[in-house]
Structure 1
Amino acid sequence: MAPPSWLIVRNSDVLIDVHAQPGAKRSAIVGEHGGRLKIAIASPPVDGKANSALIAFLAKTLSVSKSSIEIVNGETSRQKRFLIKQMTESECLNKIFGAL
């Protein structure tokens, strides 16, 4: 089975394309939006708080440290790309689909 369009494998890392929805009632993965993984975040999009909350949410969901996650693209946009270091495609998908 081919990986979803929002997941890109690069060597021993994965890239995840995310559509962020800041200011939600609770943080959760809510599905797909425009070929990206849609994540609702309970933090407002002010002073980088939503980005920090997204990194913390992804770290918890994927069971990795926050330092293993970095924003590659879209720091000030809802459309973001995250690099998750030292994670395989199957590990990532199992953790994400387990969170749905």
Structure 2
Amino acid sequence: MKTLQVKVKPNARASSLALQADGTWLAQLKSPPVDGKANEELIALVARHFGCRKAQVTIKSGASARLKWLQVTEG
């Protein structure tokens, strides 16, 4: 099980996920932060990056904030 601290930047030109020097992740998302669209895109992006299903990625805290804690379960 991995716990990630992710800084989210919505309304970006392209979606990307990158590890920062301080150990946090930076997620740039195309989706706007409206009706949970950015959170859905974030979960799909993290699942694709770590090679797991979307059901294995959950937002533990910060669902409505730009700084989020995500949990990725393996298996």
TM-score, normalising length: structure 2: 0.90
Whose RCO is larger (CA < 8 A, sep 6+)?
A: 2
AA aligned to 1:51 is: N
**1:37/1:54 Cα in 2 relative to 1: closer, same or farther (>3 Å)?**
same
Q: Of 38, 49, 52, which aligns to 2:26?
A: 38
Instruction: Tell me, yes or no, if structure 1 residue 74 matches structure 2 residue 62.
Output: yes
AA aligned to 1:66 is: K
TM-score, normalising length: structure 1: 0.69
From the two aligned structures, give the one with the greater helix fraction.
1
| Total equivalences in the alignment | 75
* Residue of structure 1 equivalent to 2:17: 29
What is the RMSD computed on CA atoms of the aligned residues?
Answer: 1.7
* Residue of structure 1 equivalent to 2:49: 61
Q: Which has the larger radius of gyration?
A: 1
Q: For the residues of structure 1 that align with 2:52 and 2:5, how far apart are their CA atoms?
A: 18
* Residue of structure 2 equivalent to 1:47: 35
Kindly indicate whether the alpha-carbon contact (under 8 Å) linking 2:59 and 2:70 is maintained by their aligned counterparts in 1. Answer: yes
Structure 1: state its 5+ residue gaps. Answer: 1-12, 88-100
